[in-house]
């Protein structure tokens, strides 16, 4: 028997599929998009669609008399595909900000955090003296 939670899960999967299909359609017909952005969003919505389809397959397989060995690869693919869009959006934001992926940028962030920590230590020391 399918419970209300399962209906909600099917609704969420359907909404994600619809969102990814609409995203693919909009990026395909949108004029004026740069080449990198267009390729990125085609890949992003494609991964989102594949992740939604794998969720749908995994949910349907959970109701069928299937061995757990057959479900494990589907669940593994589902976990990988559902985590990928978050890191893809991070890469997109880094690209839009023209941020370098080198260790030089990481060292700059590390230096800034060291300076902040030093300022906090100095401020705490001033509070203790008074």
Contacts 24+ apart (CB under 8 A), 32-36: 36/95
The pLDDT of residue 130 is: 47
Structure confidence by residue, pLDDT tens digits, 50-100: 999 999 998 888 888 888 888 888 888 888 888 898 888 888 888 888 766
The pLDDT of residue 105 is: 54
Q: For the chain, report the end-to-end CA distance as a whole number of angstroms.
A: 69
The pLDDT of residue 120 is: 77
| Number of domains into which the chain is organized | 2
* 93-116 mean pLDDT: 67
Are residues 127 and 66 part of one domain?
A: no
Buried b / exposed e over 21-38, threshold 16 CB at 10 Å, is: eebbeebeeeeeeeeeee
pLDDT bucket at 19, cuts 50 / 70 / 90: very high
Are residues 85 and 40 part of one domain?
A: yes
Are residues 37 and 82 part of one domain?
A: yes
Are residues 16 and 38 part of one domain?
A: yes
- Beta carbons within 8 Å of 105's beta carbon, 6+ residues apart: 99
Residue in 73, 53, 59 with CA at minimum distance from that of residue 9: 59
Are residues 88 and 111 part of one domain?
A: no
* pLDDT over 80 at 20, yes or no: yes
List the domain range (segments joined by +) for residue 107. 101-130
Helix, strand, coil percentages in the chain from 3-state DSSP, rounded to 5: 85, 0, 15
């Amino acid at each position: 028997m399918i419970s209300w939670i399962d209906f909600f899960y099917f609704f969420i999967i359907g909404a994600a599929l619809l969102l990814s299909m609409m995203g693919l359609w909009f990026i395909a017909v949108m004029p004026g998009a740069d080449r990198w952005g267009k390729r990125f969003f085609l890949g992003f919505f494609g991964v989102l669609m594949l992740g939604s389809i794998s969720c749908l397959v995994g949910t349907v397989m959970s109701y069928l008399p299937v061995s757990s060995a057959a479900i494990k690869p589907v669940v593994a693919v589902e976990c990988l595909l559902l985590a990928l869009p978050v890191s893809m959006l991070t890469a997109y934001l880094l690209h839009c900000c023209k941020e370098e992926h080198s260790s030089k940028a990481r060292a700059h962030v590390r230096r800034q955090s060291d300076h902040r920590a030093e300022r906090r230590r100095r401020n705490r020391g001033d509070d203790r003296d008074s």
